[in-house]
Amino acid sequence: MGKSDRCKVICGRRGRGMTGKLAQDGNRELITVIETICGDGSVLPPLVIYKGAKCYMGWFQLLDEDSEAEDYLFAISPKGWTNRKLGMELLKHFDRVTKPRTTITSPYRLLIIDGHDSHVTLGFVKYCDEADIKPYCLPPHSTHLLQPLDVGLFSPLQKAYGKVVDRATRFSFFTIWKGNFLPLLVQARQAAYTEANILAGWRGAGLIPFNARHVLAKLPHRHVSESSSCPPTTTIATPKNSSDLLRHTRQAKLMLKGDAPVDKEKLLDVIEPLERFGIAADKDRDLERVNFTKWQETAKLVAPKDKRHIGKGYGEVIDGKTLARLYKEREAADLKRAEKKQAKQVKAALSKPPPITPTRPPRVKRVTI
């Protein structure tokens, strides 16, 4: 939860007692976030599972009703992992969110899952059959090749979350804990779960559009026939570092300096990645321009933790809207209780008679002649 991303630091030469240090919180507490993406490039609200026996109000003190996290689902488990009950709740959440997208002609939905214990229960399969959901379980030990989240999204999410944690620890110097985890998760998901990344994950897994070459080419000693796959794409990848940018720039210069006529299509193939790199650099620069006052306004991140727990009457899973409303109601009740206490103290002070101060006789000065 408090692990930041790798980054480059400037330090002195070796042998002079100067060592580069990376500021990070170092909190390794586990929080499980179960994600679901769709083939149209959208992402569903996740299920966030905290480790604990009770759900405390202090974990949601930064949860606003207008934020993206209001649609999240929150739950607790003894070890912070999912189980069969939470798997059923997540399936019901998937049904509620995706049901409005169906039509009369196409009422079915395909749910691609792995072979986790919470996905292969009899109740899970029965609910899918009743709700027109077709579950498809991936083969064992193949999620790194066939699951779009593993192929193209979890790595950008890990890097984005590491950058957010790094900025938080650098500019505000607070400890990463469950109470301030949500704003960091929201920022990381907004940076990583873009439509382009989601579609790239489906494309990299060879599912949408269907292309077996993307998967079979990664297997060792496997011959792939040309007739069973689509032709590979010829798009040039966007530069990811200064070396790639320098290589693209030199290639464009050589094409322009030569005496031979310039092929416009090839030149555009070299320039377009540079343009994409510039756009990505602008976005990254906007993220780096985090206003210092924004972090200072979140001073309650280090405020005393609210240890009041939420009652068991809210079920196994609670949505963000209910938590935000409940937290505001309890804050209003606390404020009203404090006002009553202060009014009672003022009334008690006014009802007491004023203290009587004893009067002393005037002092007589003795004068000797």
Within its chain, how far is the Cα of 248 from the centroid? 33
Chain-wide mean pLDDT for the chain? 77
Residue 288 has pLDDT above 60, yes or no: no
Q: Is 36 helix (H, G, I), strand (E, B) or coil?
A: strand
- H or E segment at 190? helix 181-192
pLDDT, position 43 = 93
pLDDT, tens digit, for every residue of 101-122? Answer: 888 888 899 999 988 888 888 9
Euclidean distance between CA atoms 199 and 39, whole angstroms: 7
pLDDT, position 150 = 92
Return the C-alpha torsion angle 69, 183, 326, 312, nearest 10.
80
Q: Are 115 and 140 in contact (CB under 8 A)?
A: yes
Average pLDDT over residues 290-306: 49
Query: In the structure, what pLDDT confidence band is assigned to residue 201 with cuts at 50, 70 and 90?
Result: very high
Query: In the structure, what pLDDT confidence band is assigned to residue 282 with cuts at 50, 70 and 90?
Result: low
Provide the residue count of the chain. 369
Query: In the structure, what pLDDT confidence band is assigned to residue 237 with cuts at 50, 70 and 90?
Result: low
What contacts 101, CB < 8 A, 6 or more positions away?
A: 109
Residue 257 has pLDDT above 80, yes or no: no
Euclidean distance between CA atoms 222 and 105, whole angstroms: 40
Q: Are 35 and 153 in contact (CB under 8 A)?
A: yes
pLDDT, position 45 = 92
Q: Are 10 and 23 in contact (CB under 8 A)?
A: no
Beta bridge partners of 90: none
Q: Are 197 and 156 in contact (CB under 8 A)?
A: yes
Which of 3-7, 204-208, 273-277, 331-335 shows the lowest mean pLDDT across its residues? 3-7
Q: Are 177 and 59 in contact (CB under 8 A)?
A: no
Residue 244 has pLDDT above 60, yes or no: yes
Residue spans of the domains in the chain: they are: 234-305
Residue 301 has pLDDT above 50, yes or no: no
pLDDT, tens digit, for every residue of 52-85? Answer: 888 787 788 777 766 788 889 998 888 888 888 9
Cis peptide preceding 209, ω within 30 of 0:
yes
Q: Are 250 and 242 in contact (CB under 8 A)?
A: no
Handedness of CA 116, 117, 118, 124 (dihedral sign): positive
Residue 229 has pLDDT above 50, yes or no: no
pLDDT, position 287 = 58
3-state helix, strand, coil split of the chain in percent (to 5) is 50, 10, 40
pLDDT, tens digit, for every residue of 8-59? Answer: 665 666 555 555 555 555 567 889 999 999 999 999 999 999 888 887 877 8
pLDDT, position 202 = 93
Euclidean distance between CA atoms 284 and 277, whole angstroms: 10
Beta bridge partners of 135: 111
pLDDT, position 363 = 73
Rounded to two decimals, the pTM is 0.69
Query: Considering only CA atoms, which of 63, 3, 74, 69 is closest in space to residue 32?
Result: 74
Which DSSP category does 6 fall into?
A: -
pLDDT, position 193 = 93
pLDDT, position 13 = 60
What percentage of the chain reaches a pLDDT higher than 70?
Answer: 69
Query: In the structure, what pLDDT confidence band is assigned to residue 95 with cuts at 50, 70 and 90?
Result: very high
Average pLDDT over residues 299-317: 57
For residue 196 the two structure tokens come to: 């382009």
Residue 290 has pLDDT above 60, yes or no: no
Average pLDDT over residues 196-217: 89
Euclidean distance between CA atoms 271 and 253, whole angstroms: 11
Average pLDDT over residues 156-168: 86
